[in-house]
Every structure is written in structure tokens, then in C-alpha cells.
Amino acid sequence: MPAGPDPEDDVGAEPEVADVVAAAVLAVPGVHDLHAGVAGEVATYLPGRRVNGIRMREPGCSIHVVLDWGTPVLDTTDAVRAAVRPYVSGPIDVTVEDILPPGSTGSAPAAL
């Protein structure tokens, strides 16, 4: 049986743009999580894995998020675009897939 990818092969390698974009999005206040879409269709596929909630295009990208309750939607989606702009040329489409209910500390709903 062939061995899977060796994580040590990636040591010192440049991170994938989708990973950098995902980290930038998750650092925006009010963003609770990334969301893979209703049927799990929003993702960037990389060797042996996928980055859910980020679909890289040429040019631009689509980002699907779950926001915390009470987060101003338009301000937060603008902040997501600004956080991602250094890494992505072209249009940056942000979709709010869900809003976490008040008082919830759980994870975002899973895609079907």
C-alpha cells in the first residue's frame, strides 16, 4: 500500500494561497468559521486535502463564512475583503452562509 504524503516534506515550503487566505479570513473579528456551502461545494482542492470555505479562481476567489451573532454583516464582509486583498487579485466574493445563534459557543453547522 502506498504511503500517504509525508508532513515533513512540507517543512520550509511556502504555504498555499488558499491556506493564507483562510487564515486571514479567520482573523477578522466577527468571523466564526469558514463554511463549505450547502453541499460541501465551496473548497479549494490541494494534494491530499481541501480548504473548505475558500474557492480560488483566476482571477479572484469566493469566500463563504459563518459570522458570530451581532456582527455587522456589511462591515465584516468588507473587512474580509480588505484582509484578503494582499493575497488575491481580482474580485473577492464573500457569502455569509450562516450566523451563529446568540450564546452559542459550538462550531459552525456542517455542510450536508
* 66 Cβ neighbours under 8 A, 6+ residues apart: 31, 32, 33, 34, 35, 96, 97, 98, 99, 100, 108, 109
Q: Pick the residue with more confidence: 24 or 15?
A: 24
27-70 pLDDT, tens per residue? Answer: 999 999 999 998 999 999 999 999 999 999 999 999 999 999 99
- Report which of 8, 59, 55, 7 is spatially closest to residue 34, judged by C-alpha positions: 55
**Could you tell me the residue ranges of all domains in the chain?**
16-99
Fold (topology level) of 16-99: Alpha-Beta Plaits (3.30.70)
Q: The pTM is what? A: 0.81
Q: In whole angstroms, what is the distance from residue 84 CA to residue 67 CA?
A: 17
67-108 pLDDT, tens per residue? Answer: 999 999 999 999 999 999 999 999 999 999 999 998 877 655
